[in-house]
Amino acid sequence: MPELPEVETVMRGLAPVWTGQAFTRVTLHRADLRRPFPDGLGQRLTGAAIIACRRRAKYGLVDTDRGDTLILHLGMSGRMRVDPGETAKHDHVVFETSNGRTVAFNDARRFGSLDLVATAAADQHPLLSNIGPEPLGPAFGGALLAAAFKDRLAPAKALLLDQRIVAGLGNIYVCEALFRAGIHPARTGGSVAKARLKALAAAVPAVLEEAIAAGGSSLRDHAAPDGTLGYFQKTFAVYGQEGNACPVCGAMVERIVQSGRSSFFCPSCQH
DNA sequence: CCGACAACCTGACGGC
DNA sequence: TGCCGTCAGGTTGTCG
Protein backbone atom coordinates (compact mmCIF):
# COMPACT_ATOMS: atom_id res chain seq x y z
CA MET A 1 0.00 0.00 0.00
CA PRO A 2 2.35 2.72 1.03
CA GLU A 3 4.96 3.71 -1.47
CA LEU A 4 7.58 6.42 -1.02
CA PRO A 5 5.17 9.41 -0.91
CA GLU A 6 2.92 7.73 1.64
CA VAL A 7 5.82 6.78 3.90
CA GLU A 8 7.22 10.29 3.56
CA THR A 9 3.85 11.70 4.58
CA VAL A 10 3.61 9.36 7.55
CA MET A 11 7.07 10.30 8.82
CA ARG A 12 6.41 14.01 8.35
CA GLY A 13 3.25 13.54 10.37
CA LEU A 14 5.05 11.59 13.04
CA ALA A 15 7.94 14.02 13.38
CA PRO A 16 6.10 16.81 15.28
CA VAL A 17 4.44 14.25 17.53
CA TRP A 18 7.58 12.32 18.43
CA THR A 19 10.71 14.41 17.96
CA GLY A 20 12.21 15.49 21.28
CA GLN A 21 9.91 13.21 23.27
CA ALA A 22 10.73 9.98 25.06
CA PHE A 23 8.90 6.70 24.73
CA THR A 24 7.15 6.15 28.06
CA ARG A 25 5.52 2.87 27.14
CA VAL A 26 5.56 0.54 24.16
CA THR A 27 2.86 -2.13 24.18
CA LEU A 28 3.18 -5.14 21.92
CA HIS A 29 -0.10 -6.91 21.20
CA ARG A 30 1.67 -9.70 19.34
CA ALA A 31 5.21 -10.95 18.92
CA ASP A 32 5.62 -10.51 15.19
CA LEU A 33 4.38 -9.04 11.97
CA ARG A 34 6.06 -10.21 8.80
CA ARG A 35 8.99 -11.25 10.99
CA PRO A 36 9.37 -11.63 14.75
CA PHE A 37 9.95 -8.35 16.56
CA PRO A 38 13.49 -7.89 17.87
CA ASP A 39 14.13 -9.29 21.33
CA GLY A 40 13.21 -6.85 24.06
CA LEU A 41 11.84 -4.28 21.63
CA GLY A 42 9.60 -2.67 24.23
CA GLN A 43 12.26 -2.43 26.93
CA ARG A 44 14.88 -1.20 24.51
CA LEU A 45 12.64 1.65 23.38
CA THR A 46 11.11 2.62 26.70
CA GLY A 47 12.87 5.66 28.13
CA ALA A 48 14.66 6.43 24.88
CA ALA A 49 14.29 9.92 23.47
CA ILE A 50 13.48 10.42 19.81
CA ILE A 51 16.01 12.45 17.90
CA ALA A 52 14.62 12.26 14.39
CA CYS A 53 11.90 10.75 12.22
CA ARG A 54 13.03 10.18 8.65
CA ARG A 55 12.58 7.96 5.64
CA ARG A 56 14.74 5.77 3.41
CA ALA A 57 13.03 4.06 0.46
CA LYS A 58 9.73 2.75 1.85
CA TYR A 59 11.12 2.45 5.37
CA GLY A 60 10.44 4.86 8.19
CA LEU A 61 13.43 5.43 10.48
CA VAL A 62 13.18 6.67 14.05
CA ASP A 63 16.52 7.57 15.65
CA THR A 64 16.83 7.53 19.42
CA ASP A 65 19.37 8.95 21.84
CA ARG A 66 20.48 5.44 22.74
CA GLY A 67 22.12 5.03 19.37
CA ASP A 68 19.33 2.80 18.10
CA THR A 69 17.13 3.30 15.09
CA LEU A 70 13.67 1.84 14.84
CA ILE A 71 13.06 0.73 11.27
CA LEU A 72 9.43 0.40 10.35
CA HIS A 73 7.82 -0.85 7.19
CA LEU A 74 4.10 -0.47 6.58
CA GLY A 75 3.82 -3.41 4.19
CA MET A 76 0.62 -3.28 2.19
CA SER A 77 -1.87 -2.17 4.79
CA GLY A 78 0.13 -0.53 7.58
CA ARG A 79 -0.97 2.78 9.10
CA MET A 80 0.12 4.89 12.03
CA ARG A 81 -2.89 6.04 14.01
CA VAL A 82 -2.11 9.17 16.01
CA ASP A 83 -4.05 9.60 19.25
CA PRO A 84 -6.52 6.90 18.22
CA GLY A 85 -8.53 7.03 21.42
CA GLU A 86 -9.47 3.39 21.60
CA THR A 87 -7.45 0.42 20.53
CA ALA A 88 -8.78 -0.98 17.28
CA LYS A 89 -8.53 -4.35 15.63
CA HIS A 90 -5.04 -4.81 14.17
CA ASP A 91 -3.41 -2.20 16.41
CA HIS A 92 -0.38 -4.44 16.91
CA VAL A 93 1.98 -2.04 18.65
CA VAL A 94 1.07 1.05 20.67
CA PHE A 95 3.67 3.75 21.38
CA GLU A 96 3.14 6.26 24.18
CA THR A 97 5.40 9.28 24.56
CA SER A 98 6.27 11.80 27.26
CA ASN A 99 3.98 14.45 25.76
CA GLY A 100 1.01 12.23 26.53
CA ARG A 101 0.41 11.23 22.96
CA THR A 102 -0.29 7.78 21.58
CA VAL A 103 0.51 6.27 18.21
CA ALA A 104 -0.80 2.86 17.16
CA PHE A 105 0.81 0.81 14.41
CA ASN A 106 -2.16 -0.80 12.69
CA ASP A 107 -1.63 -3.39 9.98
CA ALA A 108 -4.44 -5.69 8.93
CA ARG A 109 -2.45 -7.86 6.55
CA ARG A 110 0.63 -7.97 8.73
CA PHE A 111 3.09 -7.56 5.87
CA GLY A 112 4.73 -4.75 7.81
CA SER A 113 7.76 -5.02 10.07
CA LEU A 114 9.61 -3.44 12.97
CA ASP A 115 13.35 -3.72 13.48
CA LEU A 116 15.76 -2.04 15.86
CA VAL A 117 19.33 -1.53 14.71
CA ALA A 118 22.37 0.54 15.61
CA THR A 119 21.96 3.97 14.02
CA ALA A 120 25.56 4.08 12.89
CA ALA A 121 25.18 0.80 11.02
CA ALA A 122 21.65 1.30 9.74
CA ASP A 123 22.77 1.86 6.15
CA GLN A 124 24.66 -1.42 6.24
CA HIS A 125 21.73 -3.35 7.62
CA PRO A 126 20.54 -6.05 5.20
CA LEU A 127 17.19 -4.30 4.92
CA LEU A 128 18.79 -1.16 3.55
CA SER A 129 22.18 -2.11 2.17
CA ASN A 130 21.00 -3.29 -1.26
CA ILE A 131 18.59 -0.47 -1.94
CA GLY A 132 19.27 1.93 -4.79
CA PRO A 133 19.45 5.71 -4.61
CA GLU A 134 16.60 7.92 -3.55
CA PRO A 135 14.64 9.09 -6.61
CA LEU A 136 14.41 12.59 -5.13
CA GLY A 137 18.12 12.75 -4.43
CA PRO A 138 21.13 13.83 -6.50
CA ALA A 139 22.23 10.31 -7.48
CA PHE A 140 19.08 9.67 -9.47
CA GLY A 141 18.81 10.71 -13.10
CA GLY A 142 19.02 9.74 -16.72
CA ALA A 143 22.52 8.34 -16.42
CA LEU A 144 21.51 5.99 -13.64
CA LEU A 145 18.49 4.77 -15.57
CA ALA A 146 20.53 4.32 -18.73
CA ALA A 147 23.00 2.12 -16.89
CA ALA A 148 20.27 0.11 -15.19
CA PHE A 149 18.20 -0.42 -18.35
CA LYS A 150 21.08 -1.15 -20.70
CA ASP A 151 20.83 -4.60 -22.32
CA ARG A 152 18.08 -5.68 -19.98
CA LEU A 153 15.34 -7.95 -21.29
CA ALA A 154 13.12 -7.41 -18.27
CA PRO A 155 10.17 -5.10 -18.87
CA ALA A 156 10.58 -1.46 -17.91
CA LYS A 157 7.86 -1.97 -15.31
CA ALA A 158 9.88 -4.62 -13.49
CA LEU A 159 13.07 -2.58 -13.56
CA LEU A 160 11.46 0.48 -12.00
CA LEU A 161 9.87 -1.72 -9.37
CA ASP A 162 13.27 -3.19 -8.48
CA GLN A 163 14.33 -1.48 -5.25
CA ARG A 164 17.99 -2.18 -6.02
CA ILE A 165 17.81 0.15 -9.01
CA VAL A 166 15.86 2.99 -7.46
CA ALA A 167 14.31 3.21 -4.01
CA GLY A 168 10.71 3.65 -3.06
CA LEU A 169 8.71 3.14 -6.23
CA GLY A 170 5.74 0.78 -6.07
CA ASN A 171 3.07 -0.34 -8.48
CA ILE A 172 1.13 2.93 -8.56
CA TYR A 173 3.95 5.38 -9.19
CA VAL A 174 5.71 3.09 -11.63
CA CYS A 175 2.54 3.03 -13.73
CA GLU A 176 2.18 6.80 -13.48
CA ALA A 177 5.82 7.54 -14.28
CA LEU A 178 5.86 5.23 -17.30
CA PHE A 179 2.70 6.91 -18.55
CA ARG A 180 4.24 10.36 -18.32
CA ALA A 181 7.37 9.22 -20.07
CA GLY A 182 5.41 7.51 -22.86
CA ILE A 183 6.95 4.11 -22.20
CA HIS A 184 4.89 0.92 -22.50
CA PRO A 185 5.23 -1.08 -19.28
CA ALA A 186 6.08 -4.26 -21.19
CA ARG A 187 8.83 -2.72 -23.30
CA THR A 188 12.15 -4.34 -22.51
CA GLY A 189 14.51 -2.13 -20.56
CA GLY A 190 17.23 -2.32 -23.18
CA SER A 191 14.91 -1.12 -25.94
CA VAL A 192 13.86 2.13 -24.30
CA ALA A 193 15.19 5.05 -26.34
CA LYS A 194 17.59 7.45 -24.68
CA ALA A 195 15.15 10.34 -25.00
CA ARG A 196 12.50 8.27 -23.23
CA LEU A 197 14.88 7.46 -20.42
CA LYS A 198 15.50 11.14 -20.00
CA ALA A 199 11.77 11.75 -19.87
CA LEU A 200 11.44 8.97 -17.33
CA ALA A 201 14.18 10.45 -15.17
CA ALA A 202 12.10 13.63 -15.01
CA ALA A 203 8.75 11.88 -14.61
CA VAL A 204 9.74 9.80 -11.59
CA PRO A 205 10.54 12.68 -9.22
CA ALA A 206 7.66 14.71 -10.64
CA VAL A 207 4.97 12.15 -9.81
CA LEU A 208 6.48 11.55 -6.38
CA GLU A 209 6.69 15.24 -5.52
CA GLU A 210 3.10 15.78 -6.56
CA ALA A 211 1.95 12.85 -4.47
CA ILE A 212 3.87 14.09 -1.45
CA ALA A 213 2.33 17.52 -1.90
CA ALA A 214 -1.13 15.95 -2.04
CA GLY A 215 -0.41 13.86 1.05
CA GLY A 216 0.90 16.87 2.88
CA SER A 217 -2.26 18.81 2.21
CA SER A 218 -4.49 15.99 3.37
CA LEU A 219 -2.30 15.76 6.44
CA ARG A 220 -2.89 19.40 7.31
CA ASP A 221 -6.60 18.81 6.87
CA HIS A 222 -6.35 15.91 9.28
CA ALA A 223 -9.25 14.49 7.35
CA ALA A 224 -9.29 11.13 9.06
CA PRO A 225 -11.22 11.47 12.31
CA ASP A 226 -8.79 9.27 14.19
CA GLY A 227 -5.74 11.05 12.83
CA THR A 228 -4.66 8.03 10.86
CA LEU A 229 -1.49 8.53 8.89
CA GLY A 230 -1.51 6.09 6.03
CA TYR A 231 -2.11 6.74 2.42
CA PHE A 232 -4.24 9.38 0.87
CA GLN A 233 -6.86 9.75 -1.79
CA LYS A 234 -5.55 10.94 -5.08
CA THR A 235 -6.72 10.32 -8.57
CA PHE A 236 -4.26 8.88 -10.98
CA ALA A 237 -3.89 9.31 -14.73
CA VAL A 238 -3.80 5.58 -15.45
CA TYR A 239 -3.48 3.58 -12.23
CA GLY A 240 -6.83 1.95 -11.50
CA GLN A 241 -8.33 3.64 -14.57
CA GLU A 242 -8.93 0.60 -16.78
CA GLY A 243 -11.69 1.41 -19.26
CA ASN A 244 -11.58 5.12 -18.55
CA ALA A 245 -10.34 7.77 -20.95
CA CYS A 246 -6.68 8.71 -20.98
CA PRO A 247 -6.51 12.29 -19.65
CA VAL A 248 -4.09 13.24 -22.43
CA CYS A 249 -5.51 11.68 -25.60
CA GLY A 250 -8.86 10.20 -24.62
CA ALA A 251 -8.00 6.64 -25.61
CA MET A 252 -9.20 3.90 -23.30
CA VAL A 253 -6.77 2.96 -20.53
CA GLU A 254 -5.85 -0.73 -20.56
CA ARG A 255 -4.70 -3.17 -17.92
CA ILE A 256 -2.26 -6.05 -18.33
CA VAL A 257 -0.77 -8.38 -15.74
CA GLN A 258 3.01 -8.55 -15.38
CA SER A 259 4.63 -10.84 -12.85
CA GLY A 260 1.25 -11.26 -11.27
CA ARG A 261 0.62 -7.56 -10.81
CA SER A 262 -1.60 -5.14 -12.70
CA SER A 263 -0.09 -2.56 -15.01
CA PHE A 264 -2.26 0.25 -16.32
CA PHE A 265 -1.30 2.18 -19.42
CA CYS A 266 -2.57 4.20 -22.35
CA PRO A 267 -2.06 2.20 -25.58
CA SER A 268 -2.00 5.41 -27.58
CA CYS A 269 0.47 7.40 -25.47
CA GLN A 270 2.84 4.62 -24.41
CA HIS A 271 5.08 2.61 -26.75
C1' DC B 1 22.89 -13.74 -13.26
C1' DC B 2 18.05 -13.31 -14.86
C1' DG B 3 13.05 -13.40 -14.83
C1' DA B 4 8.62 -15.41 -13.32
C1' DC B 5 5.87 -16.75 -9.67
C1' DA B 6 4.07 -18.43 -5.20
C1' DA B 7 3.65 -17.30 -0.53
C1' DC B 8 2.79 -14.44 3.47
C1' DC B 9 -2.50 -12.42 5.59
C1' DT B 10 -6.88 -9.93 5.94
C1' DG B 11 -10.49 -7.14 4.06
C1' DA B 12 -13.36 -5.13 0.47
C1' DC B 13 -16.19 -5.71 -3.32
C1' DG B 14 -18.97 -7.76 -7.10
C1' DG B 15 -21.84 -11.53 -8.65
C1' DC B 16 -25.21 -14.89 -7.73
C1' DT C 1 -28.41 -11.81 3.81
C1' DG C 2 -24.72 -14.69 2.75
C1' DC C 3 -21.31 -17.22 0.32
C1' DC C 4 -17.61 -17.37 -3.10
C1' DG C 5 -14.17 -15.77 -6.10
C1' DT C 6 -11.05 -12.01 -7.08
C1' DC C 7 -8.16 -8.40 -6.10
C1' DA C 8 -5.18 -5.15 -3.29
C1' DG C 9 -0.19 -0.02 -2.62
C1' DG C 10 5.27 -5.11 -0.75
C1' DT C 11 8.97 -8.28 -0.04
C1' DT C 12 11.34 -12.63 -0.20
C1' DG C 13 12.53 -17.16 -1.47
C1' DT C 14 12.51 -20.70 -4.97
C1' DC C 15 12.64 -22.64 -9.44
C1' DG C 16 13.91 -23.13 -14.23
pLDDT single digits (tens) A89-137: 999 999 999 999 999 999 999 999 999 999 999 999 999 999 999 999 9
User: pLDDT tens digits for A232-269?
Assistant: 566 799 999 999 999 999 999 999 999 889 999 999 99
Question: Contact, A17 vs A101, CB < 8 A?
Answer: yes
% pLDDT > 70, chain A: 93
Is residue A213 very low, low, confident or very high in pLDDT (cuts 50, 70, 90)? confident
pLDDT(A230) > 60: no
User: pLDDT tens digits for A142-169?
Assistant: 999 999 999 999 999 999 999 999 999 9
Is residue A223 very low, low, confident or very high in pLDDT (cuts 50, 70, 90)? very low
Active-site residue, from A56, A58, A180, A196 = A58
pLDDT given at position A259: 87
pLDDT(A84) > 80: yes
pLDDT given at position A158: 94
Q: What is the residue-averaged pLDDT of chain A?
A: 92
Q: Where in chain A is the domain with CATH 3.20.190.10?
A: 4-124
Q: What angle do CA A142, A197, A241 make, to 5 degrees?
A: 125
Measured to protein CB atoms, the chain B nucleotides within 7 Å are 2-11
Does A90 contact strand B, using a CB cutoff of 7 Å?
yes
Q: Quick one: fold of A142-265?
A: Helicase, Ruva Protein; domain 3 (1.10.8)
Does A89 contact strand B, using a CB cutoff of 7 Å?
yes
Does A7 contact strand C, using a CB cutoff of 7 Å?
no
Q: How far is the CA of A262 from the C1' of C8 (A)?
A: 10
A2 is catalytic: yes
User: Cα separation of A140 and A129, whole Å?
Assistant: 17
How remote is the C-alpha of A117 from its chain's centroid? 20
| Phi, psi values for residue A264, rounded to 5° | -110, 140
Does A109 contact strand B, using a CB cutoff of 7 Å?
yes
Question: Contact, A245 vs A251, CB < 8 A?
Answer: yes
CA nearest to A197, candidates A239, A218, A166, A222: A166
Q: Where in chain A is the domain with CATH 1.10.8.50?
A: 142-265
Active-site residue, from A2, A84, A135, A155 = A2
pLDDT(A178) > 60: yes
CATH architecture for segment(s) A4-124: Alpha-Beta Barrel (3.20)
Mean pLDDT confidence for A207-221? 74
Mean pLDDT confidence for A40-57? 97
